[in-house]
A = this chain, B = another copy of it.
Amino acid sequence: MEQETRRPLLIVGSVAFDSVETPQGRADMALGGSASYAAIAASYFSQPQVVGIVGDDFHGHHMSKFHDHGVDVRGIESVAGKTFHWKGRYRENFKDRDTLETALNVFQHFNPTIPAAYRDTKYVLLGNIDPKLQLSVLNQAKGTDIVAMDTMNFWIDTAREALREVLKRVDILFINDEEAMQLADEWTVLGAAESIRRMGPKYVIIKRGEHGAVLFGPELTLFVPAVLLTSVVDPTGAGDTFAGGFFGHLSRGGGLERENLAQALTWGTVMASFAVEAFSVDGICRLSPRVIAERRGSLIDMIRYE
């Protein structure tokens, strides 16, 4: 959050319109997608560069949310057709989510091309997209320092071989607890994390929603609880926001030392807590560094044991 030169961080993922209904209300055709959440969250820490694809229905006022946060959008390709649209509904108490519609639209032909200006970027976050595309991004990038990726059950089910290939080439995997157990065929979080680490990533960060996140690394286990909230409006994008905040901090250059990873976990957690307090990316837009730091202070206080 210091007034430092922001370092570049390449984020590849989806840019979408989401229509979401929750017990707290609804949003229609609002900015969503893994890259959108991650980039806006990361913008408080670093200089995100987004590679994605949108249709000709993606207008200037949508793009302005990126501009407002200094996100570099030269890698967002605009083509004829409609932008990826996801429609979903959260049931009572947000315990279950139904996908009502997934219209990939222009996203189904997404073939990420990394602009020349981004190819030397040292920090790369591969959002939750087809593992084949994640591999293609890695093949275009030169001399990365740290690569992180996110994935989900859909790719575990349908593209496990390609997923295993990407896993060999990344430093950090973000994954939720159920998906980790599915990928590893283990039934405890600890067992799953150990198994996945043997597949490649030195660090596995298991997201557990309202129950926080656990980072597993060499001789290292770090736990961070979620921020306790009295109101949740829309959980969509919380995981992407977490990844953006975490990796945004990491791309400031502190390396993979314990203390820096612990800090990254807290920034990711705090950004995710803001995300769920509003629809779309509204919860993480135009936050002041002071508000973010204050919430992080309360979070750390909750686990201050000495």
Residues of A within 8 A of B (CB): 93, 187-191, 208, 211-212, 214, 221-225, 228-232, 262, 266, 298, 300-306
Most chain B beta carbons < 10 A, residue from A188, A191, A229: A188
Q: Which residues of B contact A93 (CB under 8 A)?
A: 187
A230, B188: Cβ atoms under 8 Å?
A: yes
Measured between beta carbons, the chain B residues less than 8 angstroms from A189 are 228
16 A–B contacts from the bound complex (CB under 8 Å): A93-B187, A188-B228, A188-B229, A188-B230, A188-B231, A188-B232, A189-B228, A190-B228, A191-B230, A208-B211, A214-B228, A221-B298, A221-B301, A222-B303, A266-B305, A306-B306
How many Å from the CB of A28 to the closest CB on chain B? 25
Chain B residue contacts of A224, Cβ below 8 A:
303
Of chain B, the residue at the smallest CB distance from A187 is B93
Extra pairs beyond A190-B230, A221-B301, A223-B225 (16, CB < 8 Å): A188-B231, A188-B232, A189-B228, A190-B228, A190-B229, A212-B225, A214-B225, A221-B228, A221-B302, A222-B302, A223-B303, A262-B304, A262-B305, A266-B305, A303-B305, A304-B306
| Nearest opposing residue in chain B for A192, CB measure | B230
In the complex formed, the residue of B with least CB distance to A92 is B187
Give bound CA distance, A207 to B267, whole Å. Answer: 25
Smallest CB separation, A202 vs chain B (Å): 18
Residues of B within 8 A of A266 (CB): 305
Shortest distance from the beta carbon of A267 to any chain B beta carbon, whole Å: 12
Nearest chain B residue, comparing its CB with the CB of A188: B230
List B contacts of A222 (CB < 8 A).
Answer: 302-303
- A266 and B303 CA atoms in complex are apart in Å by 11
The residue among A262, A298, A301, A305 with the most chain B CB atoms within 10 A of its own CB is A305
Residues of B within 8 A of A231 (CB): 188
Report B-chain residues with C-beta under 8 Å of the C-beta of A303: 222-224, 303, 305
Q: Which of B223, B298, B304 contacts A302 (CB 8 A)?
A: B223
Q: Specify which chain B residues have a CB less than 8 angstroms from the CB of A300 in the assembled complex.
A: 305-306
Cα distance A229–B193 in the bound complex, in angstroms? 12
- A94 CB → nearest B CB, Å: 9
In this complex, what residue of B is CB-closest to A301? B221
State the CA gap A225–B188 with chains docked (Å).
15
- Kindly list chain B residues whose C-beta atoms are within 8 Å of the C-beta of A230: 188, 190-191
Inter-chain CA distance A262–B306, complex, in Å, is 9
Q: For the complex, what is the distance from the CA of A211 to the CA of B304, rounded to whole Å?
A: 18
Q: Is the CB of B225 within 8 A of A225?
A: yes
- Among residues of B, the one whose C-beta sits closest to the C-beta of A228 is B190
Q: How far is the CA of A222 from the CA of B305 in the complex (A)?
A: 9
